[in-house]
Amino acid sequence: MDIEEVKQSAVEYVELEADTEVESIDLADSFSHFGDASYVFTTETTDDEQSEWWVVAGETPTNLYPKSQFENPDYVFSFHTGLMSRMGERQLKDMDEPPEGEKYDVFISHSSDDKSKFVEPLVRELNRKGHLVWYDDDELEIGDSIRESIDEGLSRAHCGIVVLSDSFFDKGWTEYELNGLTSRDVSSEAPVILPIWYQIGKEEVMEYSPSLADKKAVQTDGENIEQVAATLSSAIKSSIRAQSDRFD
C-alpha cells in the first residue's frame, strides 16, 4: 500500500466529509491490526469551527475524528477499530445474503461435531471483521434441500474454509463440499481452499488427502479464535483481490 496514495485519499475524504479545505496533512502514527496496516493522519483545515482532525485510513474504512476529542493517535485508532467492528457486525446481522450480483466472501465446510466449540465462534469473529460467510446455520431453513443449498453456497462464494478434523473425515457431506471446492481450486488462479487443521496433525491429513496436506494451513486447537480469524481474514482478502476489486 502506497502511503502517498493513502494520504491523498485521506485529504479528499476530509474535504468531502467536512466540507472544508485541507491546508496540511501529516502522518501521526501507523498501526497493524490483525495483520492489516492502518495510518492515523493529523490534518489542518480552513474550517473556523473545527480546523483540526484525525483521519484513520489504510486497510480499514476511512473516517475522521475531531482532534479535540482524542488526545493522541492511539486513542483515536482504538476508538475507530471498535466502531468499525460494531458497525460491520450490525450490517452483517441485517444482511441475509450478498447484494445482487455479488458473492459471499467465503464458504465454510465443517463437521457438525465441531460447530459449537470452534466453527460458530470463528464465523462470528469473521463477521466482526466484515466478512460475509456462507454458514449452514445461517443459510439453511426448514424444508431446504441440503444439497441444493450447499451447491448454491459453493457457487456464490469467492473461496472456502475447510475445517479439517477427525470428525470431518467421517462425514459424507463434508466430502461432497470438499470435492466442489477442489474442482474450483484446480481451475482457479487464486487460492480457493483455505484449510484449518483443527486438533489434528499433518499425518492425519496426509492419510486422508496428500494434496490437502501440501497446502499451507492454519493449525489450531481452537484456543485462539481471534488469531485464527485474523490469519484467515488476510487470506480471504487475498483471494478476493485476485478475483475482484472489492478490497483494492
* Local confidence pLDDT in tens for the 248 residues of the chain: 678 888 988 888 888 888 889 999 999 999 887 667 889 999 999 988 888 999 998 887 788 888 888 889 998 888 888 777 655 554 445 445 555 556 888 888 887 888 888 988 998 888 888 788 888 654 334 343 344 555 666 677 888 888 888 887 776 555 655 666 566 565 556 677 788 999 998 888 888 777 777 778 888 987 788 888 888 988 888 888 776 644 44
Question: Domain 104-243, what fold?
Answer: Rossmann fold (3.40.50)
Write the CA distances from 158 to 74, 238, 243, integer angstroms. 34, 10, 8
Confidence at residue 16, expressed as pLDDT on a 0 to 100 scale: 82
Cβ 198 vs Cβ 165: under 8 Å? yes
- The residue extents of the domains of the chain are 3-88, 104-243
Q: Is the whole model's pTM more than 0.85, yes or no?
A: no
| Residue 199 confidence (pLDDT) | 92
- Polymer length of the chain: 248
Amino acid at 162: V
Catalytic residues: 177
Q: Is 158 exposed, middle or buried (0-12, 13-18, 19+ CB in 10 A)?
A: buried
Taking the CA atoms of 169, 212, 226 and 141 in sequence, report the sign of the dihedral they define.
negative
Beta strands 133-134 and 22-33, pairing class: unpaired
Residue 152: helix, strand or coil by DSSP?
A: helix
Least Cα distance to 80 among 92, 94, 66, 93 occurs for: 66
Each as own residue / partner, the long-range contacts of residues 137-142 (CB below 8 Å, 24 or more positions apart, any chain) are 139/97
The CA distance from 240 to 225, in Å, is 22
Span 72-85, pLDDT tens digits: 999 888 888 877 76
**Read out DSSP for the chain?**
--HHHHHHHHHHHHHHHTTS-EEEEEEEEEEEETTEEEEEEEEEES-SS--EEEEEEESS--EEEEGGG-SSHHHHHHHHHHHHHHHHHHHHHT-SSPPTT--EEEEEE--GGGIIIIIHHHHHHHHHTT--EE-HHHH--TT--HHHHHHHHHHTEEEEEEEE-TTGGG-HHHHHHHHHHHHHHHH-SS--EEEEEES--HHHHHHH-HHHHTS--EEE-SS-HHHHHHHHHHHHHHHHHHH-STT-
